[in-house]
Amino acid sequence: MDLIRTADDLRHLTAAWRAEGEVGFVPTMGSLHDGHASLIRRARSEAARTLVSIFVNPAQFGPAEDLAAYPRDEDRDVERCRALGVDAVWAPPDEEVYPPDVALPEPDPGPVGETFEGVGRPGHFRGVLKVVHRLFDVTGPCRAYFGEKDAQQLFLVVRMVRERNLPVTIVPCATVRATDGLAYSSRNARLGDEEREEAGCLFLALSEAAERARAGERDAAILVAAMGREIGATPLARLDYAAVVSDETFEATDRVTEPVRAIVAARFPSARLIDNLLLPRPADDR
């Protein structure tokens, strides 16, 4: 497995790989967990070569956010990639992603970038699209694997690729969860025992919304209220938002018409968690 630092080395490597077949690319911020591993396995099963990038992107963290505290363990991540059969890891220093004096494209996330995850994190999605655009520019044509766990990010990346005609196929990947339903996230490591025990409330809330949708509930406000109650009843959790959004526009909807996604965010004392679930059709519709 190659460990690459510079953008030039990566360009050369992926260009050579493309002569043999498709390049599978899994962009990450490191601190790899089983969610990342599932993206990597999928990439390996579908592409001739697999590349993982590890880069904690300063552009997507606000001044009051946890950039310095974001968990980092490159040696462990590199070993994990090796064990998973990855062909190369790109772990660049900041200046290889953001060369000084080069004005990189900054795709506009538009109004969706200001909602939900964008509300408390102004500029977050601008930073996400800037880095993803740059990573794609260096990697070149590829299949890129993204988790549904970050549904708003996935929505904006898919739209950027479509609008800019980038030579990249985005492959959405299902959220990987612990046995109590908590979606794996690098931030979970910060949770204390009690917080970890209660963190399953996000998935419980989403599951309740899914059950009601399956039972035929079409009023999004009822689903939102049910999710709020579930998280509100969890002592250490503070609800940030619960909503039902169209999967096609990522805008909140009043009526549950397909396809729609329930989304939640909650603050625990040590970490803020997000999750989402595509809602099923009513059982008697099938």
Closer residue to ligand AMP (CB): 156 or 183:
183
Q: Quote the least distance from Cβ 181 to ligand AMP, whole Å.
A: 11
Q: Is 61 exposed, middle or buried (0-12, 13-18, 19+ CB in 10 A)?
A: middle
| Number of residues in contact with ligand AMP under rule CB under 6 A | 17
**What b-and-e string marks burial along 233-261, b requiring 16 or more CB atoms within 10 Å of the CB?**
ebebbebbbbbbbbeeebebeeebeeebb
Residue 241 CB, shortest distance to ligand AMP, in Å, is 18
Q: Contacting ligand AMP (CB under 6 A), which of 173, 236, 266, 274?
A: 173
Contact call for residue 186 and ligand AMP (CB under 6 A): yes
Q: Which 133-172 positions form the footprint of ligand AMP (CB under 6 A)?
A: 146-147, 149-150
Task: Supply the minimum distance, in Å, between the C-beta of residue 178 and ligand AMP.
Answer: 9
**Contacts of 246-250 spanning 24+ positions with Cβ under 8 A:** 247/155, 247/278, 249/112, 250/112, 250/115, 250/116, 250/151, 250/152, 250/155, 250/156
Rounded CA separation 51/73 (Å): 18
Nearest distance from residue 227's CB to ligand AMP, in Å?
19
CB nearer to ligand AMP: give 227 or 273.
273
Instruction: Indicate which residue of 12, 33, 36, 133 is catalytic.
Output: 36
> Using the rule CB under 6 A, is 117 a contact of ligand AMP?
no
By beta-carbon proximity to ligand AMP, the closer residue of 128 and 224 is: 128
- Cβ burial, residue 267 (10 Å; 0-12/13-18/19+): middle
CA Rg value for the chain: 19
The residues annotated with a catalytic role in the active site are: 36
Q: Which residues bind ligand AMP (CB under 6 A)?
A: 28-29, 35-36, 38-39, 146-147, 149-150, 173, 175-176, 183-186
